[in-house]
Amino acid sequence: MTIKTSSTPKIKIDIPENESLRLQTLDELQLYPVTPEDNFDNITKLASFICKTPVSLITIIGQDKQWMKSATGTNVSEIDRDISHCTHAILEPGNLMEVRDTRKDMRFAENPFTTGQPPILFYAGMPLKAPNGAAMGTLCVLDTEPRTLDDGQKEALKALAKQVENLFELRRQNLHLQQVREQLNVRNTQLKDFAGTVAHDMKMPLANIIITSDLLRAKYGDQLDLQGKEYLHYLKQSSFKLSNYIQGILEHYESDTLTARNCEEFDIHDLLEGIIDLLNIDYDCVINLPEDNKIIHGNRTALEQIFLNLIGNSLKYTSTEKIVINIHFREDKDFYYFAVEDNGIGIPQDKQEEIFELFTVLAESDRSGNRGNGIGLSTVKKLILSLDGAINVKSKVKKGTTIEFSVKRVL
């Protein structure tokens, strides 16, 4: 329906007492410019069908205009607020306004929609309220003939209006969550930049402390008693520990850039053998690679970081004389699946979910007497999730641990 209005002068309207709050609520919903959405269009179609009217609208009442968030039966997208039926309806937010014959209502008798062609002679609108009580607009139905709604139609119109209110509230919550997420992203970026700067700035002084302790021992070692030498050893070991901690922080935050690198083809055995060489293992250790040496296509750099942490943990957290590590692999059309199985000290059942949390340390020390920093496994999980994979742990205390993970295949 195309509605044409006559040239009747504009009509003075009443303004809700909470107009400022109402307009502020509309601004928070960010409904301008008004764009069509299926969820709202479905409601106006249903309202028109139930009420048997040719036109149904979801309207938004702005300061000077009324916009149609959804319109069934008309192509009108906006009108001046002072000729809007809905601007009268929002004056009583809790009540359905029904005008059975607009020609007989002094508010609308001279309204250009009443005198225009085709005329709007029937109106029923249910205000749409925000949680703060402000009326944002209406769900309304219109007809070109005088009529009335039965009780069932009125209740249905109210129920549909409630669904529109729910959609508006969901929109408000989503906008709030989006704002919070943006703020968190900014703060996270600032934190990462700060951590990276501090970590880099601390590496050189720590290296100087380690070198200086070695120089002191070499040059003045014969002048130090046993306790003095122990102090130097403690200073050097503490510096190494702090240096490893800083390196872990850098790797954790720099892991974001690993998944952005280009993928490549490589064979699994070559990847794992390179990592084993890098670890420079001097324990009695057997590492069994997957039986089949498959060629895979993926992010080699990220997988190197993952396996370096997992195999390193299997080497460190064990009390057995002979370390045995089994690495498994399988694949399907969507994912690559890996597992690192060891015969180490194991993880208590009630602690297995915690091990992937940043800075969580369960064991008092590793086989060399050093305490971990709780960064490695958090970095591993972060990398795996960024590769659209998943990770889980199976473990028994004093029996060993198996960490299984998947990464999505890259075509």
Position with higher pLDDT, 4 vs 109: 109
Q: What is the pLDDT of residues 271-307, one digit of tens each?
A: 999 888 877 787 889 999 998 888 999 888 889 889 9
Task: Give the type of residue at 60.
Answer: I
**pLDDT value at position 364?**
62
Confidence tier at 9 by pLDDT (50, 70, 90) = very low
Smallest Cα–Cα separation from 199: which of 375, 58, 36? 375
**pLDDT value at position 41?**
94
Q: Does 10 have pLDDT greater than 60?
A: no
Give the Cα separation of 87 and 64 in Å (integer).
Answer: 10
Give the Cα separation of 112 and 161 in Å (integer).
Answer: 26
Confidence tier at 123 by pLDDT (50, 70, 90) = very high
Could you give the angle at which helices 19-29 and 151-220 cross, rounded to 10 degrees? Answer: 60
**pLDDT value at position 8?**
46
Confidence tier at 144 by pLDDT (50, 70, 90) = very high
Q: Decide if 189 contacts 72 (C-beta within 8 A).
A: no
Give the Cα separation of 145 and 14 in Å (integer).
Answer: 26
Q: Does 3 have pLDDT greater than 80?
A: no
Average pLDDT over residues 113-118: 91
Q: What is the pLDDT of residues 349-382, one digit of tens each?
A: 888 788 877 666 666 666 666 666 667 788 888 8
| Weakest-pLDDT range from 73-87, 210-224, 336-350 | 210-224
Give the Cα separation of 391 and 268 in Å (integer).
Answer: 19
Q: Does 251 have pLDDT greater than 80?
A: no
**pLDDT value at position 188?**
72
Task: Give the type of residue at 169.
Answer: E
User: In Å, what is the CA distance from 148 to each residue of 54, 97, 106, 152, 209?
Assistant: 14, 11, 18, 12, 89
Residue 407's contacts (CB-CB under 8 Å, 6 or more residues apart) are 298, 299, 302, 303, 335, 336, 338, 384, 387, 388, 389
**pLDDT value at position 255?**
60
Token pair 């990847």 is found at 271
**Taking all residues of the chain, what is their mean pLDDT, rounded to a whole number?**
85
Domains and CATH numbers, the chain: 19-172 (3.30.450.40), 263-411 (3.30.565.10)
Average pLDDT over residues 308-330: 90
Residue percentage of the chain with pLDDT more than 70: 83
Q: Does 104 have pLDDT greater than 90?
A: yes
Could you give the angle at which helices 300-316 and 268-279 cross, rounded to 10 degrees? Answer: 50
**pLDDT value at position 6?**
47
* Cβ neighbour number for residue 270 with a 10 Å cutoff: 12
Q: What is the pLDDT of residues 37-96, one digit of tens each?
A: 899 999 999 999 999 999 999 999 999 999 999 999 999 989 999 999 999 999 999 999
**pLDDT value at position 321?**
86
**pLDDT value at position 7?**
46
pTM of the model: 0.53
Q: What is the pLDDT of residues 371-411, one digit of tens each?
A: 666 677 888 888 899 889 999 999 998 899 999 999 998 76
**pLDDT value at position 52?**
96
Q: What is the dihedral of CA 16, 19, 25, 26, to 10 degrees?
A: 90
Average pLDDT over residues 174-194: 79
